[in-house]
Amino acid sequence: MNRVLLETRALRKAFGRVQVANALDLTFEAGVITSIIGPNGAGKSTLINMLSGLIQPDSGEIFFMGQQITRLPIHRRVKMGLCRSFQVVNVFPELTAFDNIQIPVLAVLGRAGRLLIPLRGETIAREEANAILSRVGLLHASESRATALSHGDQRLLEIGIALAARPKLLFLDEPTAGMNPVERTKILDSIKRLSAEGKTTFVIVEHDMDVVFSLSDRIVVLHHGDIIADGTKEQIRESSKVREVYLGDEVDE
C-alpha cells in the first residue's frame, strides 16, 4: 500500500523577498489522507498551486508516479490523475450542475474534442457524471444552473468537478469553508468513503482543526515556507514547536 504518488525535491518559491517555499521535500503516499496546516501566510496555498501547476516553482522538482511533472501544463497533470479543488467557488456559473461535472468527465474519457456527435449520445459520460452527482449529493439539482445553487451546494459541486476527473491524488483547498454543519458532515463522509475505496488519495488544506483531526492519517505543518512538523495526529498534538507557532510565545513555560 505504501506507494509513493507524489514527491517534491527541494521545491523553492519566493515572492519578492518572502520565501513561501523553502526547499520543501515532501512525499505523498497512496491511501494516506494528509492534511496540510499552518498559520496564514505559511505557504500552504502556494504549495498546492505549485503542485497543481497553477504557478511555477523557482527551483526544485516535482514527480508524480515516478514522472517528472515540474513543467507540465495543468491539463496534462489532471489527465495523469493529479487534481485539485479551490477554496473559493470556481465552477462554470451559467452551466447546469450536470454539465459542470460532464466537462471533466468528457476530458478524462478523451471525448471532449468530438464535434460531430451529439452530446446526448455520450451515455458513458452521462452515467459517470450522474454517479459523481449522486456521490456529492447533488443529483436532485442536476438541471439547475450552478449560480442558482446555494453556496454549500456550489462547494459540493466544486469538489464534484475535481472528483470527476478521476484523480489519483486530489488536493482539496479548504473543502468545508462556508458549509453548514449538515453539508460539512456530508462532505467529510464522502471523503472518508472515497478514500476507503482506494481510488483517490486526498490531501487537504484546512483551517478547521476538528476537520483536520477527524480526517487525517498524517499532518504536515508549514510555517514561513518550512515544514516544521510532519507526523501522525498524536505526534502533532504533542509537538511543542507546533504549539509555539499556533499559540505564540505564551507557551514558553
Partner 1 sequence: MRRYAIPLLAFLILAALILTGIFGSRFVVYIAMRVMILGIFALGYNLLLGRTGLLSFGHAAFYAGGAYGAALFFLHVQKHPLLCITAGVALALVLAVIIGFFCVRHTEIYFAMLTLAFGMMVFSLLWNLRDITGGDDGLVGIAREPISLGFASIPLVKPGQYYFLVLVFFLLSLGLVYVIRQSPLGLILAGIRENDKRIEFAGISLKNYRLAAFVISGGFAGLAGALGTLLNSNTTPFSAHWTHSAEPVLVSLIGGLQTFTGPLFGSLVFVVLREIIERYTQNWMLWFGIILLVIIMGFRGGIAGAISELLGRKTPSAVGKEGGRP
User: Which residue of 1, 116, 123, 234 would you call a contact of partner 1, by CB under 8 A?
Assistant: 116
Q: Taking the complex as a whole, how short is the minimal distance between the CB of residue 105 and partner 1, in angstroms?
A: 9
C-beta of 79 vs 207, nearer to partner 1:
79
Q: If binding is defined by CB under 8 A, does position 113 make contact with partner 1?
A: yes
User: Which residue of 63, 92, 213, 246 would you call a contact of partner 1, by CB under 8 A?
Assistant: 92
Where in 118-177 is the site for partner 1 (CB under 8 A)?
Answer: 118-120, 122, 125, 145, 161-162, 164-165
How many chain residues touch partner 1 (CB under 8 A)? Answer: 41
Q: Give pairs for 196-200: CB < 8 Å, separation 24+.
A: 198/30, 198/31, 199/166, 199/168, 200/163, 200/167, 200/168, 200/169, 200/170
Tell how far CA 252 is from the center of its chain: 35
Q: If binding is defined by CB under 8 A, does position 52 make contact with partner 1?
A: yes
User: Which residue of 10, 56, 68, 94 would you call a contact of partner 1, by CB under 8 A?
Assistant: 94
Q: If binding is defined by CB under 8 A, does position 78 make contact with partner 1?
A: yes
Tell how far CA 87 is from the center of its chain: 9
Q: If binding is defined by CB under 8 A, does position 67 make contact with partner 1?
A: no
Q: If binding is defined by CB under 8 A, does position 4 make contact with partner 1?
A: no
Of 100, 87, 85, 104, the residue nearest 147 (C-alpha): 100
Q: How many CB atoms lie within 10 A of CB 152?
A: 17
Cell numbers at residue 21, please? Answer: 517555499
Strand bridging mode 59-64 / 34-37: unpaired
* Beta bridge partner(s), residue 172: 204
Please give the residue ranges that form the binding site for partner 1 (CB under 8 A). Answer: 52, 73-76, 78-79, 83-84, 86, 90-96, 99, 102-104, 106-108, 111-120, 122, 125, 145, 161-162, 164-165
